[in-house]
Structure 1
Amino acid sequence: MASSSLLTLAASLALLSLFTLSTCFDPTAINYSTSAVALNWNMGSATWYGSPTGAGADDNGGGCGFKNVNLPPFNSMTSCGNHNLFKGGKGCGSCYLVKCTGHPACSGSPSHITIADLCDGGICLDAPYHFDMAGTAFGSMAYPGRANDLRHAGRLAIDFARVPCQYPGRTISFHVEQGSNPNYLAVLIEYEDGEGDLNMVEIMESNSRNWVQMKESWGAIYRLDTNRPLHAPFSIQMTDDKNRKLVARNVIPVNWRPNTFYRSVVQYS
């Protein structure tokens, strides 16, 4: 009887510990080096630009069209990618783990970064894969207190691995770009979970049942040009490079305005 009670108590404590762990779990602090079974590490090179503790681009944006990359969820952990990483804009928003070991200030621990801009020409053509990182991102590969030492090193050899993006608590967002009007709609797409690049973006008007393919304008911005007024609300269908389709229905409302974010209720799982 006593042994049975002890077993029951042990099981209860184990269950309680699971609940305690779940309340402390922070989905934004996932360590991909330990949570992933196997990562495909590759060799590349890295430099940095902009303010030592900044987000890279002076406008806190970049060639992908993202806004305020100095703020969450990007938190200045962004990078320009050369053509093999930027992929003509399809690499915008791709997530990578990066780490360095060849300098005394390198911690060897991976940092999570997002491609937000294009590095074109010069040093970006010297290696098959080159990351020109924001100062904050570059310094994050260092031991605590040694970020400046690492930044003074200039160019580094690094290891990198593609990983799924994760934006806990966020759904896919659509920003109607400045200059959009009744006959022209340009939309920036942000915060897609997963590791698939978008292969196609389509739009459906409220007075139609047909999907119309949008043109890739630049970066992560897609547009539709017409010779007639468009009929809102608009639904947007995204297809990634794994042929997974996701529809944000009526995500852009009737009374849409340029320079405005509209958040969907959908996300790649």
Structure 2
Amino acid sequence: MGACGNIPIFKDGLGCRPCFKIKCNKPAECSSKPMVVHITDMNYEPIAVYHFDLAGTAFSAIAKKDEEEKPCKAGIVDMQFRRVKCKYGSKITFHLEKGCNPNYLALLVKYVDGDGDIVVVDVKEKGSDTCEPLKHSWGAIWRKDSDKLLKGPLTVRLIAEGGTNTIYDDVIPAN
């Protein structure tokens, strides 16, 4: 159930991943049952102060049974929404982006459970006591440009805006 969020929701990419519970109020074909959507991209249309652009499956899911196409045809629908904790289970994924090497690390972080946007990502080499901070690149990608060669395995630490500090030991292997 993906959705794009506008500027205050997507937050220049820091808001990529969060979950929102939404409920459609109008038109009459809306089911008024709440559902959770995951923000996956930016929407640049200045339609409202807060704006969600729902994927087709999410748009259909807000409708009453047998009226799935009507809200979609309406185009703009009134909704209530609130931020909720994401519940992906144990699916967290770390993906090294194309072009990574011992001097450049670009890490995509996906499926993070929890209490808010990721605001800090650090890596630590095996046997080191020092965490190396990564810079937010864009979307859910964090990067490190380094004169010093990074050697795996690397441990990743994530800090969420709500303060949750989670460590994933040796998730990036050597080589």
Contact 2:115 2:162 in 1 (8 A): no
Contact 1:197 1:241 in 2 (8 A): yes
After superposing the two structures, state which structure 1 stretch, 190-199 or 77-86, moved more: 190-199
TM-score normalised to structure 2 length: 0.94
Structure 1 residue ranges without an equivalent (≥5): 1-76, 256-269
Match 1:114 to one of 32, 38, 52: 38
* Structure 2 counterpart of 1:234: 154
Larger radius of gyration: 1
* Structure 1 counterpart of 2:69: 148
Determine if the alignment matches structure 1 residue 157 to structure 2 residue 78: yes
Query: Quick one: distance in 1 between partners of 2:82 and 2:131?
Result: 35
Query: Quick one: distance in 2 between partners of 1:183 and 1:194?
Result: 31
Q: RMSD of aligned C-alpha atoms?
A: 1.3
CA displacement, residues 62-83 of structure 1 (integer Å, 9 cap, x when unaligned): xxxxxxxxxxxxxxx1011001
Secondary structure of the residue aligned to 1:196 is coil
Query: Quick one: distance in 2 between partners of 1:172 and 1:178?
Result: 19
Deviation at 1:176, TM superposition (A): 0.8
TM-score normalised to structure 1 length: 0.62
Query: Quick one: distance in 2 between partners of 1:204 and 1:148?
Result: 50
Letter in 1 for 2:106: A
Q: 1:71-90 maps to which residues of 2 (within 5 A)?
A: 77-90=1-14
Q: 1:91-106 maps to which residues of 2 (within 5 A)?
A: 91-106=15-30
Secondary structure of the residue aligned to 2:12 is helix
Q: 1:1-269 maps to which residues of 2 (within 5 A)?
A: 77-120=1-44, 124-168=45-89, 170-206=90-126, 208-255=128-175
Secondary structure of the residue aligned to 1:101 is strand
Contact 2:156 2:168 in 1 (8 A): yes
Deviation at 1:182, TM superposition (A): 2.1
Query: Quick one: distance in 2 between partners of 1:114 and 1:195?
Result: 14
Contact 2:115 2:164 in 1 (8 A): no
The structure with the greater share of residues assigned to helix is: 1
Give percent identity, aligned residues only. 39
- Number of equivalent positions: 175
Deviation at 1:207, TM superposition (A): 5.4
The structure with the greater share of residues assigned to strand is: 2
